[in-house]
Structure 1
Amino acid sequence: MGIRMLSQTKHFTPRETKLGLVKSLLIPKLDYCSNIYLGASRAAWKEIELAYNSCIRYIFDRRRYESVSQYKSNVVGSSIENFLKYRACLFIYNLLRYKQPEYLYEKIIFTKSLRNRVLQIPSHLRSQYL
């Protein structure tokens, strides 16, 4: 819906403004809950990729079936899948380093053995993890 509203003025808006609008209005919607996307199926990733391609078509004035692969790195620096994986890695780093959010950090179980320093995440067997 957001891209449809923006596309009404795409002929009057300069490319830099379109890029700014996409980065501030649409990419955060794709980035929201990006940590959940890591376990998504290929079909779900395809839907996310299609939304991202629509944003690229809006910015660079491309038609519906034109290839946008050459423009993908101009928006977020990589493909949307790699961008969302990067964001998930940042979330995990901040979780382990700064212990924020605290309620998630408390769910992590660290092993005591120096030989086997593996991070174990508990499975969701009870309603308290939902």
Structure 2
Amino acid sequence: MALSFLSFNDQKTEVMVFGPSGSCDPPKMDLGVLTPHIKQSVLNLGFKMDSDFKLDSHISSVVKSSFFQLRRLTKVKPFLSQQHFETVIHAFITSRLDYCNSLYFGISQSSLSRLQLVQNAAARVLVGARKRDHITPVLASLHWLPVHFRVHFKILLFVFKSLSGLAPPYLDELLSPYTPARCLRSADQLLLEVPRSKRKCRGERAFSVCAPKLWNALPLNIRQATSLSIFKTRLKTHFYSQAFIHV
């Protein structure tokens, strides 16, 4: 690095060591000048990543900041129409839930539930529902997809953009069309190759693995969408029917 006239910023340098899955502490390693900078979680573009990919620290930060903002928004609600107040909620709350939410794929249900509590609270504040009111009809009336479906929506959006030449090359390289060994009906189903993964908790959460699985599970008419707007409309309709089938 010295030959390239580069140096570490001691105040911003963070190093994360990935060890065996499930280990509480990172493995002890001597990385020289980097050793003092080893941390269990690091911050990159506002997202907190930990070595076990549980994302607990980031989710806690999102939940805390979202509820703080929501309490502040309740004070301005009397001065805004419901339409304008919903726009404000999307700007301050939904944007936090959606930021890098594709990384939430594969996290525990308890962690997703914490994020869902934020969306539920925002919906109740918007429509003036009571805490004990069932939240599913409220979300359905607002056409808000639950957090779980929003995560899948974001990943599938990346897939469609990649297949349409609208995504960066590094994403395009992670997807391959499915080519059967012999002539089968699945050859013209616009399916993707699903690579094998050795690790369920980590490998199956990689974009190259989870994205083809989600894509192949979609109805054919969604995969055949001819434009981004048509794809988003059909995908949201599909997820809406799954999320609120009993409403």
- Shared fold by TM > 0.5? yes
Which residues of 2 match residues 50-69 of structure 1 at below 5 A? 50-69=117-136
Larger C-alpha radius of gyration, 1 or 2?
2
Gaps of 5+ in 2: 1-67, 183-191, 204-247
User: Partners in 2 of 1:77 and 1:122 — Cα distance?
Assistant: 33
Secondary structure (helix, strand or coil) at the match of 2:78 reads coil
Alignment partner of 1:120 is 2:195 = yes
Can you list the C-alpha shifts for 1:52-98, whole angstroms capped at 9, x where unaligned? Answer: 00110110112333322211023344333223322221112212331
Alignment partner of 1:43 is 2:110 = yes
Judged with a 3 Å threshold, the aligned counterparts in structure 2 of structure 1 residues 66 and 92 are, in CA distance, closer, same or farther, namely same
C-alpha RMSD of matched pairs (Å): 2.9
The answer to whether the 8 A contact 2:176-2:193 is kept is yes
Shift of 1:113: 5.5
Secondary structure (helix, strand or coil) at the match of 1:11 reads helix
Give the partner amino acid of 2:181: R
Of 32-41 and 21-30, more deviation after overlay is shown by 21-30
Shift of 1:23: 2.3
Partner residue in 2 for 1:128: none
The answer to whether the 8 A contact 2:112-2:147 is kept is no
Judged with a 3 Å threshold, the aligned counterparts in structure 2 of structure 1 residues 16 and 45 are, in CA distance, closer, same or farther, namely same
User: Partners in 2 of 1:41 and 1:56 — Cα distance?
Assistant: 23
- Higher percent of residues as helix: 1
TM-score, normalised to structure 2, is 0.43
User: Partners in 2 of 1:112 and 1:12 — Cα distance?
Assistant: 54
Runs of 4+ in 1 over 6 A off after TM superposition: 121-125
User: Partners in 1 of 2:177 and 2:148 — Cα distance?
Assistant: 31
Give the partner amino acid of 2:98: D
Partner residue in 2 for 1:27: 94
Identity %: 18
Give the partner amino acid of 1:58: V
Give the partner amino acid of 2:134: S
The answer to whether the 8 A contact 1:53-1:68 is kept is yes
User: Partners in 1 of 2:152 and 2:176 — Cα distance?
Assistant: 23
User: Partners in 2 of 1:79 and 1:63 — Cα distance?
Assistant: 19
Gaps of 5+ in 1: 126-130
Partner residue in 1 for 2:145: 78
**Candidates 145, 159, 178, aligned match of 1:92:** 159
Can you list the C-alpha shifts for 1:25-52, whole angstroms capped at 9, x where unaligned? Answer: 3212111112111211101110111010
Judged with a 3 Å threshold, the aligned counterparts in structure 2 of structure 1 residues 61 and 119 are, in CA distance, closer, same or farther, namely same
User: Partners in 2 of 1:9 and 1:95 — Cα distance?
Assistant: 41
The answer to whether the 8 A contact 1:109-1:122 is kept is no
Q: How many residues align?
A: 124
Partner residue in 2 for 1:14: 81
